[in-house]
Amino acid sequence: MTPELGQLALVLALLLSLAQGVLPLVGAWRGNRALMATARPAAAGQAVFVALAFLILVWAFLRFDFSVQYVADNANLQLPWYYRIAAVWGAHKGSLLLWILILNGWTLALAIFSRQLPEAFAARVLGVLGLVSVGFLSFTLFTSDPFTRLLPMPANGADLNPVLQDPGMTFHPPVLYMGYVGFSVAFAFSIAALLGGELEQAWVRWARPWTNAAWGFLSCGIVAGSWWAYAELGWGGWWFWDPVENASFMPWLVGAALIHAQAITEKRGSLRAWTILLSIFAFSLSLLGTFLVRSGVLTSVHAFASDPRRGLYILCFLAVVVGGSLLLYALRAPKVMGGRPFATVSRESALLVGNLMLTVAAAMVMLGTLFPLIADAFQLGKVSVGPPYFGLLFPLLMAPVVLLLPFGPYLRWGKGEGGQLKSVLLRCGVAALACAIVAAFFVGGRLKAVVGVAAAVWVGVGVLLYVAKRWREMPRGRRYPAEMAGMLLAHFGVAVFLVGVLLSESLSVSRDVRMAPGDSQTVGGYQFRFDGIRQTTGPNWHAEQASVTVTRDGKPVDVMHPQKRTYAHEQVQTESAVDPGITRDLYVALGEPMDPARLQGAWALRVYYKPFVRWIWGGGLFMMLGGFVAATDRRFRVRREARERVVAGPVESTAREVRA
């Protein structure tokens, strides 16, 4: 009976989302306040029903209700409770429900915190979110109902894909979705502005923390996914330019561009059309990612169940949402144009260059991701586009961004002066050069590593110089407002990231070895001794576990335990062992036994020495932190309070106050 209640809750949520999507928009168009006022209650009601449906699905997993097909497909009696909860979003249907839940969460937050916005504008924003929700709820109900019954009920279920039975995987999808869906706020905002035909700078200011937070979540989600791939897949890699990874990376790139474009539009009123376009792109790319992942159009290492019928539905949805938005943009964008001109040397132009490079990079990633499809269409044969393409073009496109990054904060809005820039250029340049020369001795002249050190020092010193300048020149308490602190943190993250990527890429040592018990191998100055295999078990798996003793110059470093796990249904999963460190990771993955009949004999092992690899995720976390910190800036709230106070006053004064 309970699963049917879940289904009913989803149907009610769909009806409410229809109300939320249609009535407020009509109300805003007609100037009917009663219709506009339906937006918030509809959003709240919808959130309640979706949450109810989600909890019912969680409950079905917790009490092993195998009469629900989705539960029977993704859990069994041996699966521990925490992975049963994670199994809710372990496959297509449940992850769609999670997406909807998060969309409702963001909508609810928006409904609560949007009281300061003009009534018609808030109604339009919530209406647009309602329409997005209609699309996803009907997608769930008509093609991917998670509550479908399975009769007769099996005694035990299948298993959650063992690849997903990892702590990193339990929170990777929710956090990633927080990011994807978070861009829907900026999107709804832009559509509302286009519909209404005007865009106040104050509204952009109000939208900024939402974009920053969404981007922070997306950064965190990507870091978690990358970390998981590194620890779980046993290849020692952290990024593979796989279609599914690219699907999350494109919105991230455009989101980074959007954050900066919003800053320009909010502070100067310029580039309004561009900001709107980027908002549409960021959310569209999130939807495109869903399409690519769920439709099976592209092949990927991520084994998602795909279904052409679902693909067709998402494609139609994509056509309506993205096509409709871009058409609206084409028709209405001239209405919201405006802003002040700016000089060649100014903060605006620097940000614009960064913006263009990030957007072009996103386009480049999209071209590479879709190229196999283009090749099919034009009969170019089977083509696979991989690291050689991305690995060449991406650094080229990002080089100008890295070069410009230290100057950004020093440039003034409108026009900048050259003098200060020269001193920054000089100091960053000298520091980068000096460190590069020193580093060259340590890395044996490997160019990539030297470039990595130089680029990281260039960016890092640029950021620190600005931190010092603010410290000297500003009174205590006004030195680092949250918005600026966030910016500095994220930029510093770029420096950390550069160290991680370029040093680990160029200095890593990996070796595939055959080792019998007692054998030793030296990799990267560390001695790895294989001490044999023993059997071990977990809640729903048993494993062969190797014992590898690591020493350096005779001193013990660590004993590592890579495993080869066998889950229910004989699914085999490697569990690599990582000895983490700030300057290096040691990484051992267990391969196959040389002789399957003799497990105590020799095994194939893969041993890695990966310097600075941890800095990659460290950099990503700094960027995430930057996004979150910037989102908390009081300025985004304080002015609104000021605005509220003058709402009672004459309309002209409000406008003047906001533009000032």
Partner 1 sequence: MNRLLPFLGFVALAVLLGFGLWWNRWHDPTAVPSPLINKPAPAFDLPQLDAPSRTISKASLLGHPYLVNVFASWCYVCGEEHPTLMTEAQRLGVPLIGYDYKDAPGDAKAWLAEHGNPYRLIVADRSGRTAMDFGVYGAPETYLIDARGVIRYKRIGPLTPDVIQHQLEPAIAALAKEAP
Can you give the binding site for partner 1, defined by CB under 8 A? 273, 277, 280-281, 284, 291, 295-299, 308, 311-312, 315, 318-319, 322-323, 326-327, 329-331, 333-334, 370, 373-374, 376-377, 382, 592, 594, 596
| Number of helical H runs and strand E runs in the chain | 21, 10
**Which residue's CB is nearer to partner 1, number 319 or number 638?**
319
Which are the contacts of 633, defined by CB distance < 8 A and separation ≥ 6?
Answer: 209, 481, 482, 483, 486
Least separation, in Å, of the C-beta of 86 and partner 1? 27
**Which residue's CB is nearer to partner 1, number 326 or number 393?**
326
How many other CB atoms are found less than 10 A from the CB of residue 588? 24
Tokens 């915190």: give the residue. Answer: 113
Least separation, in Å, of the C-beta of 194 and partner 1? 11
Least separation, in Å, of the C-beta of 311 and partner 1? 5
HEC sequence for 19-49: HHHHHHHHHHHHCCHHHHCCHHHHHHHHHHH
Nearest Cα to Cα of residue 277 among 341, 220, 325: 325
* Encoded amino acid at 622, one letter: F
**Which residue's CB is nearer to partner 1, number 319 or number 434?**
319
Least separation, in Å, of the C-beta of 514 and partner 1? 10
Report the C-alpha gap between 219 and 106 in whole angstroms.
Answer: 18
Q: Which residues pair with 513 in a beta bridge?
A: 605
Radius of gyration of the chain, Cα coordinates, nearest whole angstrom: 27
Report the C-alpha gap between 459 and 407 in whole angstroms.
Answer: 9
**Which residue's CB is nearer to partner 1, number 311 or number 339?**
311
Report the C-alpha gap between 13 and 47 in whole angstroms.
Answer: 8
- Are 41 and 70 in contact, with CB atoms under 8 Å apart? no
**Which residue's CB is nearer to partner 1, number 44 or number 375?**
375
Least separation, in Å, of the C-beta of 243 and partner 1? 11
**Which residue's CB is nearer to partner 1, number 94 or number 591?**
591
Least separation, in Å, of the C-beta of 95 and partner 1? 20
Tokens 């699907």: give the residue. Answer: 247
Least separation, in Å, of the C-beta of 363 and partner 1? 9
Asked if the peptide bond before residue 387 counts as cis, ω within 30 degrees of 0, the response is: no
Cα 198 off chain centre by: 30
Least separation, in Å, of the C-beta of 593 and partner 1? 8
**Which residue's CB is nearer to partner 1, number 417 or number 592?**
592
**Which residue's CB is nearer to partner 1, number 330 or number 647?**
330
With b meaning 16 or more CB within 10 Å and e meaning fewer, what string describes 297-325? bbebeeebebeeebbebbeebbeebbeeb
Report the C-alpha gap between 450 and 440 in whole angstroms.
Answer: 6
Least separation, in Å, of the C-beta of 305 and partner 1? 14
Report the C-alpha gap between 126 and 131 in whole angstroms.
Answer: 9
**Which residue's CB is nearer to partner 1, number 382 or number 476?**
382
Quick one: tokens of 196?
């209404």
Least separation, in Å, of the C-beta of 128 and partner 1? 18
Nearest Cα to Cα of residue 255 among 288, 193, 210: 210
Q: Would you tell me the crossing angle of helices 201-232 and 614-631 to the nearest 10 degrees?
A: 160
**Which residue's CB is nearer to partner 1, number 34 or number 379?**
379
**Which residue's CB is nearer to partner 1, number 207 or number 333?**
333
Least separation, in Å, of the C-beta of 217 and partner 1? 26
Using left for φ > 0, alpha for ψ between -120 and 50, and beta otherwise, residue 379 falls in: left
Least separation, in Å, of the C-beta of 175 and partner 1? 27
